Structure 1
């Protein structure tokens, strides 16, 4: 089995586990697109909070193991809510990401934007 197929299988299995976790707790009624999108935002804000007052030179690798674990947990929360959102809405996350990457490649051609961080509307 190829590495890509293995990763896809793992992703699908994880999505199933997340759905089963929610079902076992009767949380489907709360998992609306509105509520899940709001939860995603909250978790992203919790991730930002960890880095909020760090000095520019304080990279992830330099954080204490406790803070690194907190970062991992917040990233996992974001990922789990995103997976649940996709499950509830029927969005194929991998297909959506691949399509968006193609779209971004058209908006930000490497030969035009390399080494720059402007918005696509600022390039001529």
Structure 2
């Protein structure tokens, strides 16, 4: 499984084999994704900002990030969003919006 298309197909097959598609609407997947992001945050919320993730915490962090990725991939599939195309387009908009000459080492303020 080398790319996002393979992962998307594998998630679709996983879901279909278990007949879970009826549970995978955009709202439900968005809420599940949000919960998984919360679990990532929970692992690091009381750690110092410069803490290094090691051992069991590193493995748990990886598992939670994988859950986020899998729900995101499934959500995009159900919603008909090409994540690679959307990500590249968004990155280009951000590059245009935040030119290096203006924003190097400066955190942008949000209006």
Sort the TM-score into its range (normalised by shorter chain): over 0.9
Q: Which runs of 5+ in 2 are unaligned?
A: none
Residue 57 of structure 1, CA deviation: 2.9
Bigger-Rg structure (1/2) = 1
2:4 paired residue among 11, 22, 28: 11
**RMSD after superposition:** 1.5
Greater relative contact order (CA < 8 Å, ≥ 6 in sequence)? 2
TM-score w.r.t. the length of structure 1 is 0.83
User: Deviations along 1:83-121, whole A, 9 cap, x unmatched?
Assistant: 101110110000000000011112111110110112254
Q: Of 29, 40, 46, which aligns to 1:36? A: 29
Question: After TM superposition, where is structure 1 displaced by more than 2 Å over at least 4 residues in a row?
Answer: 118-121
Identify unmatched segments of 5+ residues in structure 1. Answer: 1-5
Aligned residues: 111
